[in-house]
Chain A
Amino acid sequence: MSHSKARHVVDARFLPPPEPFVQTMEMLDTLPDGERMLLLLYREPHPLYKVLDQNGYSRATELQPDGTFEILIWR
């Protein structure tokens, strides 16, 4: 799945916890240098934010009208 903001997308909107966290970690492990990934979720993932911050990732979050949080992640 791709998106206008990034080629690498985890659409975790209908996944039960902790799948969104697990799938995001798996994608980050294989994300090529210089590329971005996009996480789609119906909530802000604060525990994930903490992990990203601790590991030197940058992120930008945008709330869409349908309630989707689009979280763009890059290093």
Chain B
Amino acid sequence: MQALLSFDKAPPFAAPARFFLTAPLFLLAAALVLLASGPELLESRWSPALVAVTHLVTVGFMLMVMCGALIQILPVVAGANLAEPLGTARWLHAGLTGGALALAAALASGEQRFLAGAAGLLGAVVAGFLWAAGRPLFAVASTSPTIRGLKIALAGLAVATAAGCLIAVAVALGWPLPHALPDLVDLHAGWALGAWGGVLLAAMAYVVVPMFQLTPGYPARPGWLFPPLVLGLAVLWAVGAGFQMPFWVRVAQGATALAGIAFAALTLRLQSRRRRARADATLRCWQVALVATLLALLMLLASAVHPALGEHPRWAVLGGVLLIVGGYVSFITGMLYKIVPFLAWLHLQNCGAGVSSASRILADRPMLAQTRVHALAVFLLAAACLWPEWLARPAGFVLASASAWMFANLAGAMRRYRELAAAGGGR
């Protein structure tokens, strides 16, 4: 039976690795735009440059890692195997890279025909991914909260992408929009960051937090409940917006915030009971992410209760910075710091070039150091939303440094993997 430790059915390491190496470069690009633009970038969420930078991070970094990781992880956490993982990775990576760059360029430049083309390209790429990943995933039974969450997250991605494409094409071609543009953009962001990002994060957290941080498991009942609850609230939000019922939109926003706060608080509690005494980079990344997410969700809750708060131009920018850079980027960085060395270690075992532990592929010290710089970047970015004249460029510089360092750490792990694989005669 020992021979069956072989991981021969797993997608090759090259499948997800390209996504993990490309993503920090998009974060670096976003930071460099902030460094070059300075304070005016953070003045309003509606400035074309900030909308472009937001999509460099949400599509170029977040979606890039999420899709790449799912190609690798679906067989492990759901028993769902993509038909052609390496082939899918090739076109998906090329499409997401090209689509994210084109969308950001179109949004920043205001070239409307270009915007329609970029949105169409990205929409087609995401549709292809949904087909490739959704077919095997929906063929397996929902035997765990994680599988149910993954299915709901894919539905969230489909709606978020469709809404984004519709908004972009309508704006580009001058089609009349059924509702006010800000309401539709909020809805797009709500589905993208809640029903897709939030549910996917929770579904993965059910597995990776106990597995990598050696905490107790997430209790079953809230684990089953969270994904359909967030989906239901996103539907309520859409119905409220569609029928011009702002009260129900606020109810949906407030309840979504409360659900997210409960999830974050539960995760912090589980982490406080972890068996791994040493605080590694992943734990620190998740602590930064959970605190930033809690603050962002408290802001969402406050503006749902007192809508006047959300009308301040800097309120939404600060909330977005906390949720996207402080929350999602930190969560994802923490996961990358476990997944990349672990996958490299696993594939080295498979090709007969085994190493004693994953820490020989990527040591904790550079990851922890990068995490500290990233945490400083989050703090400076949040402060820059309040004092942009003083802090926008320093925040951009520190975020650029953190992004470049993340790339260097991950590229170093890949290089070490290739050296060890070559020494062991592996693939």
B-contacting residues of A (Cβ < 8 Å)? 13-18, 21-22, 25, 28-29, 42-44, 46-47, 49-51, 54-55, 61, 63-69
Q: How far is the CA of A22 from the CA of B143 in the complex (A)?
A: 24
Interface size counted on chain B using CB atoms at 8 A:
31
Q: Given A17-B211, A25-B2, A55-B4, A50 and B217 touching (CB < 8 A)? A: no
Instruction: Please provide the chain B residues from 191 to 226 with a CB less than 8 Å away from any CB of chain A in the complex.
Output: 206-207, 210-212, 214, 216-221, 223
Are A49's CB and B216's CB within 8 A?
no
Which stretch (B70-78, B301-309, B323-331, B410-418) binds chain A?
B70-78
Are A66's CB and B79's CB within 8 A?
no
Q: Given A25-B5, A50-B9, A42 and B216 touching (CB < 8 A)? A: yes
B-side contacts of A69, CB under 8 Å: 144
Q: Given A18-B5, A25-B4, A50 and B79 touching (CB < 8 A)? A: yes
Other contacts beyond A43-B206, A46-B79, A47-B76: 19, CB < 8 A: A15-B214, A16-B212, A16-B214, A17-B211, A18-B346, A25-B2, A43-B210, A46-B76, A46-B78, A47-B10, A51-B4, A54-B4, A55-B4, A63-B144, A63-B220, A65-B220, A66-B216, A66-B220, A69-B144
A-side contacts of B214, CB under 8 Å: 14-16
A-side contacts of B79, CB under 8 Å: 44, 46, 49-50
Are B211's CB and A42's CB within 8 A?
yes
> How far in angstroms is the closest Cβ of chain B from A3?
17
A-side contacts of B206, CB under 8 Å: 43, 67
Q: How far is the CA of A50 from the CA of B229 in the complex (A)?
A: 32
Q: How far is the CA of A50 from the CA of B217 in the complex (A)?
A: 23
Chain A to chain B contacts (Cβ below 8 Å), 27 pairs: A13-B217, A17-B211, A22-B5, A25-B1, A25-B2, A25-B4, A25-B5, A29-B1, A42-B211, A43-B144, A43-B146, A43-B210, A44-B77, A44-B79, A44-B146, A46-B78, A47-B75, A50-B79, A54-B4, A55-B4, A61-B143, A63-B144, A65-B221, A66-B217, A67-B217, A67-B219, A69-B144
Are B207's CB and A67's CB within 8 A?
no
A-side contacts of B211, CB under 8 Å: 16-17, 42-43
Are A43's CB and B77's CB within 8 A?
yes
Are B220's CB and A21's CB within 8 A?
no
* Residue B138 CB within 8 A of the other chain: no
Q: How far is the CA of A66 from the CA of B9 in the complex (A)?
A: 31
A-side contacts of B146, CB under 8 Å: 43-44
Shortest Cβ distance from B275 into A: residue: A14
Are B223's CB and A67's CB within 8 A?
yes
B-side contacts of A42, CB under 8 Å: 207, 210-211, 216-218
Q: Contacting A46 at CB < 8 Å: which of B75, B210, B216?
A: B75
Are B219's CB and A66's CB within 8 A?
yes
As a 0/1 sequence over residues 6 to 29 of chain B, the CB contacts with chain A under 8 angstroms (1 = contact) are 010110000000000000000000
Are A28's CB and B1's CB within 8 A?
yes
A-side contacts of B379, CB under 8 Å: none
Are A47's CB and B78's CB within 8 A?
no
B-side contacts of A18, CB under 8 Å: 5, 346
Most A C-beta atoms less than 10 A away, residue of B78, B206, B210, B221: B210
B-side contacts of A68, CB under 8 Å: 217
> How far in angstroms is the closest Cβ of chain B from A15?
8
Q: How far is the CA of A27 from the CA of B275 in the complex (A)?
A: 24
Q: How far is the CA of A43 from the CA of B205 in the complex (A)?
A: 11
* Residue B114 CB within 8 A of the other chain: no
Shortest Cβ distance from A49 into B: residue: B79
Shortest Cβ distance from B80 into A: residue: A46
A-side contacts of B76, CB under 8 Å: 46-47
As a 0/1 sequence over residues 73 to 96 of chain B, the CB contacts with chain A under 8 angstroms (1 = contact) are 001111100000000000000000
